[in-house]
Amino acid sequence: MNIRLCTKEELPLILKMSEVFATEGCCNGIVPDTMDDLLENEIYVAEEAGEILGYAYGSAETASRKRWFILPGTKNFYVEVIYVKPEHRSREVGRKLYKRLENRAKELGCGTMEVIAVSKSYQKLLHFYIDELGLEFFTAHLMKKI
Ligand SMILES: CC(C)(COP(=O)(O)OP(=O)(O)OC[C@H]1O[C@@H](n2cnc3c(N)ncnc32)[C@H](O)[C@@H]1OP(=O)(O)O)[C@@H](O)C(=O)NCCC(=O)NCCS
């Protein structure tokens, strides 16, 4: 499996995958990516035997104010999307995509990674980010329809 930058020709495929992601029902509040979202970011894909198994992207921003332990003037990398097709999950594709983003964040001079995790399978998600990838638990945003 190869983790690499997505080509411009592959962007329509990523848009389709993003639409499937939004309708899969695995996460709350997912809105499909637009072509502008994709063009504005470096999109990484996991590819195997000519098939794109998943994609990920995020962006580096310099903080303008203190937020938790992110200090003004320091760079933070915000993970926007990590998505792996259901039939390829639990094969470390997501882990490799995340690691590529983290390495890119380091190259860009970021001192922190930030993920707002939205999967309904939150126990699995916490296992993925905390146990497998070494992020720290920071906050929980809970809601209930009444
Ligand atoms: C979360 C996700 C990117 C992980 O990708 P992956 O290739 O399965 O990741 P890995 O193989 O490296 O790690 C597997 C771990 O991911 C977690 N995971 C699996 N399915 C998941 C799901 N539907 N939602 C959240 N986490 C999941 C589990 O902790 C799993 O551990 P296990 O194999 O011991 O059960 C992938 O499950 C996915 O695309 N989920 C739907 C979209 C999503 O939740 N994206 C993250 C939003 S913040």
Which residue has a Cα nearest atom 25 of ligand 1? 125
Please give the distance, rounded to the nearest whole angstrom, from the Cα atom of residue 65 to the centre of ligand 1.
32
Please give the distance, rounded to the nearest whole angstrom, from the Cα atom of residue 120 to the centre of ligand 1.
11
Parent domain of 99: 2-132
Q: How confident is the model at residue 69, as a pLDDT?
A: 84
- What is the reported pTM? 0.95
Q: Is the pLDDT of residue 143 over 90?
A: no
Q: Is residue 141 part of a domain?
A: no
Q: How far is Cα 17 from Cα 22, in angstroms, rounded to an integer?
A: 9
- Tally the domains of the chain: 1
The atom of ligand 1 lying closest to the CA of 79 is 48
Residues 6+ apart with CB under 8 A from 105: 58, 60, 77, 113
Which residue has a Cα nearest atom 46 of ligand 1? 82
Mean pLDDT of the chain, nearest integer = 95
